[in-house]
Amino acid sequence: MAGSVDETRGTLSAQLLKGQKALVTGANSGIGLATAVALGRAGADVVVNYVVGADEAEKVVAQIKEFGVRSYAHQADVSDEDQVVAMVARMVEEFGTIDIMVANAGLQRDAPVTEMTHAQWKKVIDVNLTGQFLCAREAAKEFVRRGVVKEVSRSAGKIICMSSVHQIVPWSGHVNYASSKGGVGMLMQTLAQELAPKGIRVNAVAPGAIRTPINKDAWSTPEAEADLLRLIPYRRVGDPDDIANAVVAVASDLLDYVVGATLYVDGGMTLFPGFATGG
Ligand code: NAD
């Protein structure tokens, strides 16, 4: 059934994105991996960006190709301007254009503020914020050049910024990360305002706690998981597919009137769970 959720796998299975060309950064692990696969399942051709881990990236490419769409892996550091420019240029050469940019790559370098080095601060801002700016800019240039192709999509292109609940929730011991995601929120809104008149939709997906390598310490022992669940009213840690499905929906014309929005996919983590009993 068109647009239905596959009951057995809990994933969007319809060809919502047939004929579209997508690029996902940091797509050989966690949320990016699940998103790249979900976009392929939805009918898009997909570029799998990675910075390290060529073997993992090739495995993702093989998985995507099973859906009968095109895919290749491309190594680039999203915080390096020349590499991002070359990555999008190659995509336009190989796939003809780009319709969906998922700026997902991100990392943490945690420390109390009194111990945080300038290098830790800079690395996180460079990858999580500047990286998203560079990827969005290069995609926007191609969207503006090409414009709307109505047989493909109602919009001239979609940029989806991978944010976090820490776009709005302060996070002690992670000032670099929280600042980068707060910045992603304003990057997204400003780009959405600037690019909407050109038919481009810019939105953010903001995950809560999702089971991936980035936060393994928070869920890999029963004690840690119990602690984490106190912060999640829905009482389950999210899976990468929870986020991948949201990205497919936001990228599709089903959500064509959604512009400049942040979709929190967090089991209610942003509902101030401490106030359920306190306050
Ligand atoms: P992950 O560590 O599994 O994946 C991160 C990916 O980004 C990896 O493939 C990594 O190699 C890549 N990456 C890192 N630096 C890069 C660079 N310079 N250039 C290109 N790629 C680079 O973690 P994840 O949980 O899948 O994280 C994906 C995104 O989701 C991040 O932006 C993260 O902040 C966000 N997020 C995750 C959670 C969560 O609970 N897992 C919650 C909120 C937000």
Asked if the model's pLDDT at residue 4 lies above 80, the reply is: no
Question: Which strands form 45-50's sheet, in the order they lie side by side?
Answer: 71-75, 45-50, 21-24, 100-103, 157-162, 200-207, 262-265
pLDDT score recorded for residue 256: 98
**Alpha carbon of 52 to ligand 1 centroid (Å):** 12
pLDDT score recorded for residue 65: 98
Protein residues with CB under 6 Å of any ligand 1 atom: 25-26, 28-32, 49-52, 77-79, 104-107, 127, 162, 164, 207, 209-210, 212-215
- Residue 123: exposure state from Cβ atoms within 10 A (0-12, 13-18, ≥19): middle
Has residue 62 been placed in a domain? Answer: yes
Residue with CA closest to ligand 1 atom 33:
106
Has residue 7 been placed in a domain? Answer: no
Has residue 83 been placed in a domain? Answer: yes
pLDDT digits (tens, 9 = 90+) for 136-184: 999 999 999 999 999 999 999 999 999 999 999 999 999 999 999 999 9
Average pLDDT, rounded, for the chain: 95
Asked if the model's pLDDT at residue 98 lies above 60, the reply is: yes
pLDDT score recorded for residue 2: 44
pLDDT score recorded for residue 232: 97
Has residue 271 been placed in a domain? Answer: no
Has residue 23 been placed in a domain? Answer: yes
Compute how many other C-beta atoms are within 10 angstroms of the C-beta atom of residue 149.
12
Has residue 55 been placed in a domain? Answer: yes
Residue 34 is part of a domain; what is its CATH number?
Answer: 3.40.50.720
Asked if the model's pLDDT at residue 62 lies above 80, the reply is: yes
Mean pLDDT within 82-95: 98
CA neighbours closer than 13 Å in the CB half-sphere of residue 54: 3
- What's the rounded Cα separation, in Å, for the pair 100 and 49? 13
**Closest ligand 1 atom, CA of 31?**
26
Catalytic residue numbers, as ranges: 177
Q: What share of the chain in percent tops pLDDT 70?
A: 95
The domain in which residue 166 lies consists of: 15-265
pLDDT score recorded for residue 13: 63
- Looking at per-residue pLDDT, the higher value among 278 and 33 belongs to 33
Has residue 93 been placed in a domain? Answer: yes
Q: How confident is the model at residue 3 (pLDDT cuts 50, 70, 90)?
A: very low
- How many domains does the structure of the chain reveal? 1
Of the listed ranges 143-147, 237-241, 273-277, the one predicted with least confidence: 273-277
Which helix (H) or strand (E) element contains residue 74? strand 71-75
**Alpha carbon of 138 to ligand 1 centroid (Å):** 20
**Alpha carbon of 130 to ligand 1 centroid (Å):** 14
Has residue 275 been placed in a domain? Answer: no
Q: How confident is the model at residue 5 (pLDDT cuts 50, 70, 90)?
A: low
pLDDT score recorded for residue 10: 64
Would you give the distance in Å from CA 91 to the centre of its chain? 18
